[in-house]
Chains A and B, each alone.
Chain A
Amino acid sequence: MPDTILVVVEQREGKLNRVSWETITAAQAIAAATGWTLEAAVVGSGTAQIASEVASKKVTKVYDIESPKLEPYTPDAFAAALKQFLASKQPKLVLMPHTYQVRDFIPKLATSMGRTVISDCIGFKHEGGKLVFTRQMFQGKLAADVSFASDAPWFVTFQNGAFRGDKAETGTSAAPVETVNVDIADGVIRNKPQEVFKEAKQAVDLTQAEIIVAVGRGIKEQKNIEIAKQLADALGGDLAASRPICDSGWLPMDRQIGSSGQTVAPKLYLALGISGAIQHIVGMKGSRAIIAVNKDSEAPIFEIADYAVVGNLFDVVPPLIEEVKKAKAGS
């Protein structure tokens, strides 16, 4: 019997998180490489609809893992439910998207089963019958191929954008859905979550911006953000920032691009003094064109830049503003 890959899709408050399609794409690629069987599961309460949605993809079976105690999400409930399910199903490989929710429970689940998670992977390799998972290290400066030295199940999470959700293959017919009711004993759940909310009304929706000029630590001081703003204005674009700039209060949180902030894919992303930490890159690597200015030639941002300027942004940006203005004035 071939081994099984199980994709655990993510749902929050009854809605499927579309990043789950990326995990399905990854799983389908691994299934094709290894010959293993692909199944999927959704965990929640009243999630039959989501299970049907997943069943439309090319998977052999979908499990709807149910308990009223799975809503709202808590790490205790999710880990307990999946531990129960995995003990009976015994897949070889369990895949999930590397979301904030998955990070909150998957290490607990794995540890409770005496297993391990290779997290935030960007790909996999299947060479000589051996499966290894590729992930970034040292904030993207190096890559590592990591293998499991444990028994199944093997737990892996994939980074947002590492695979294309729109490439998830549809099935020729809907896969069968099986409801699995799990039992979560009293006293298991210790956290009491309140309603999810958005902090402040977003002043600007950067996901709609066609041009974004973003600043990182290389801007050095708050007052220097002014030249980035001038460039953004000259280009008719919006100002944005990496997390450390927002942490320091130099720009409001709604200007943040990255895993905690907005994910954008504008026509042009101009990164000024941004090193390219993974948490930032995941928020903008889908941009159609990326220009990066940084004085460190080794900065990971240059891995994904279409145009690279290795230099001092304070030397480059002022003449750039002038040239942009001249060009727009039609000279």
Chain B
Amino acid sequence: MKILVCMKQVPQKDAPLKLNESGTWIREDVSYEINEPDAYALEEALRQREKHKGEVVVITSGPARAQQVLREALAKGADRAIHLEDDKFVGLDAFNTAKSFAAAIKDEQFDLIFTGLQSDDYGYAQTGVILAELLGWPHATIIMQIEKTDSGIRVKRELEAGYFQFVDMPTPAVLTIQSGINKLRYATLIGIKQAKNKPLRKVTLADVQSALGVNLQRIEKLYIPQKTKKTEHIEGTPAEIAKKLVDKLRNELRVI
């Protein structure tokens, strides 16, 4: 099975975010990490390769710093990496991001393409589905299980409120992977060493420019959300806080 895992580098979960001068994006001087759902997608690809043999290739688009995501993926066991490297990739909308991935892999023959179900920075949940449409492949989203069958794959789709659904699909296909599908592995020291020698192909913006179009949507303004709720802060020592909370529970909320 030849699997491509699309990965994104996003600001760390607890990184303090600051707006840039134009108020249209955040300042770059934060710490970054792998988008968590993508880590689950990678783990799933590695497990599928363990079961069925094959190759796991990882791809990302972004500035030079995004290479870290690929290095980590290679250290965990991916076979090779593709880096669409340019600062301008950050400003592309999901449609263009998917187009750039499709262009970068046009000479490859993957059986499966995984993405995380959504990114922790944008949270659009679109890139994987757009990519499937661009490639003309079937897709399924929010996947919690993948099994190989004679006719392709059988996947378990997660629905709301604890419901699930199995779907039989042909391959090649695109799947967006839900967190919790598996347990993430850590990169080993040997893995980190081996990663240095694994192939990492760079693709420039110029290489894929002809496939892209203008962004079809635009962030007019990025800002700190206006609070509509009135929040009362409870302060003091833990003992004082406990007493104040019980006072609220009893006299304001009437649950005691």
Say if A and B assemble together.
yes
Q: Which residues of A contact B (CB under 8 A)?
A: 75-76, 79, 99-101, 103-105, 107-108, 111-112, 115-120, 132, 135-150, 190-200, 202, 210-211, 235, 243-244, 246-248, 253-254, 256, 259-263, 267-268, 275, 278, 289, 291, 296, 298, 302-311, 315-316, 318-320, 322-324, 326-328
Question: Which residues of B219-254 have CB atoms within 8 Å of chain A's CB atoms?
Answer: 219-227, 229-234, 238-239, 241-243, 245-246, 248-250, 253
Flag whether B206 is at the interface (Cβ < 8 A).
no
Within the assembled complex, what's the spacing in Å between the Cα atoms of A196 and B241? 46
Instruction: Give the segment of B52-60, B82-90, B160-168 that binds chain A.
Output: B160-168
Between-chain CB contacts (< 8 Å), 18 pairs: A79-B133, A105-B129, A107-B126, A108-B130, A119-B125, A135-B123, A137-B122, A148-B216, A148-B217, A149-B214, A191-B169, A195-B165, A247-B179, A260-B158, A261-B162, A267-B253, A307-B232, A327-B246
Contacts of B217 in A (CB 8 A): 116, 118, 146-150
Give the tally of cross-chain contacts (CB within 8 A). 243
Within the assembled complex, what's the spacing in Å between the Cα atoms of A148 and B215? 9
CB distance from A228 to the nearest CB of B (A): 15
Contacts of A324 in B (CB 8 A): 246, 249, 256
Within the assembled complex, what's the spacing in Å between the Cα atoms of A246 and B158? 14
Secondary structure dominating the interface of B: mixed
Flag whether B208 is at the interface (Cβ < 8 A).
no
Closest to A19 in B: B160
- Contact between chains at B231 and A142 (CB < 8 Å): no
Within the assembled complex, what's the spacing in Å between the Cα atoms of A196 and B224? 40
Closest to A142 in B: B222
Question: Which residues of B2-19 have CB atoms within 8 Å of chain A's CB atoms?
Answer: 11, 13-14, 16-17, 19
Interface residue range, chain B: 35 or more
Flag whether B76 is at the interface (Cβ < 8 A).
no
Within the assembled complex, what's the spacing in Å between the Cα atoms of A195 and B165? 6
Contacts of A303 in B (CB 8 A): 225, 227, 229, 231
Contacts of A104 in B (CB 8 A): 129, 140-142, 157
- Contact between chains at B11 and A307 (CB < 8 Å): no
Flag whether B93 is at the interface (Cβ < 8 A).
yes
- Contact between chains at A306 and B255 (CB < 8 Å): no
Contacts of A304 in B (CB 8 A): 229
